[in-house]
Amino acid sequence: MKWAVVLLTLSFTVAFSTAVAAQAPDEGRILALENAWNQAQLHHDASAVNQLLSEHFVYTDYDGTVMDKAKFLADLKDPSYEATLISNEDMKVYSYKDAAIIIGTYHTKGKYKHQPFEHRGRFTDTWIFVDGTWLCVASHTTLLKNQSPGAAEQ
């Protein structure tokens, strides 16, 4: 009888843990998608980034510019933007049932219209789980340090 209670308790514990795990977003998968996004952006691969974004995606850039998905993807294709580095650091995932908020810092470096730039900032990305796929619905960046020539230090 004692073993039956232990087995029953263990069964409920495993079932509950499995249910909770099934509801929690796959943090590793989302972080991998964030890194894939950086690589696609580095190579102007709008097609790859398109697969990561919801149809209603909205982006708010550090200068206050707001873009929808179409404008964001068009901007990504701009050949005058020549990034040599796009990386994220200190990322943290806040998980919800079918959503996740990712915060972190970013570092970008390269040339824009033949002028060198280097930016460091913070970002917040919001992802939702729809039909078995993680999609980013919103992204916001805040510039912490602009090391472009002629720009004031922030």
Q: What CATH number should be reported for the domain holding residue 83?
A: 3.10.450.50
Residue 3 has pLDDT above 60, yes or no: no
Q: What pLDDT does residue 141 have?
A: 97
Q: What is the average pLDDT value for the chain, to the nearest integer?
A: 84
Q: How many domains does the chain have?
A: 1
Asked, for residue 154, whether it belongs to a domain, the answer is no
Answer whether residue 111 is part of any domain.
yes
Token pair listed for 87: 């990386």
8 located within any domain: no
> Contact 109/85 with Cβ under 8 angstroms?
yes
pLDDT digits (tens, 9 = 90+) for 38-74: 999 999 999 999 999 999 999 999 999 999 999 999 9
**Residue 12 belongs to a domain:** no
Confidence check: pLDDT of 15 > 80: no
For residue 152, tell me if it sits in a domain: no
Q: What pLDDT, on the 0 to 100 scale, is given for residue 26?
A: 86
CA distance 105 to 121: 5
Residue among 94, 89, 101 nearest 139 (CA): 101
Other Cβ atoms less than 10 A from the Cβ of 79: the count is 6
Q: Which domain holds residue 77?
A: 25-146
Longest CA span, the chain = 79
Contact at 8 Å (CB) between 60 and 140? yes
Segment of 3-17, 24-38, 118-132 carrying the highest mean pLDDT:
118-132
- Of 50, 54, 22, 25, residue with least CA distance to 36: 50
In a domain, 83, yes or no: yes
Task: Confirm if 52 and 33 have CB atoms less than 8 A apart.
Answer: yes
Per-residue CA distances from 66 to 63, 73, 117, 144 (Å): 9, 13, 21, 18
Q: Is residue 14 part of a domain?
A: no
**pLDDT tens digit sequence for 78-87:** 999 999 999 9
Block residue for tokens 């069964």: 11
Residue 151 in domain: no
Question: Which neighbouring-strand residues pair with 141?
Answer: 123
C-alpha 134 chain-centroid distance: 10
pLDDT score of 148? 58
The helix or strand, by DSSP H or E, that contains position 111, with its residue range, turns out to be: strand 99-112
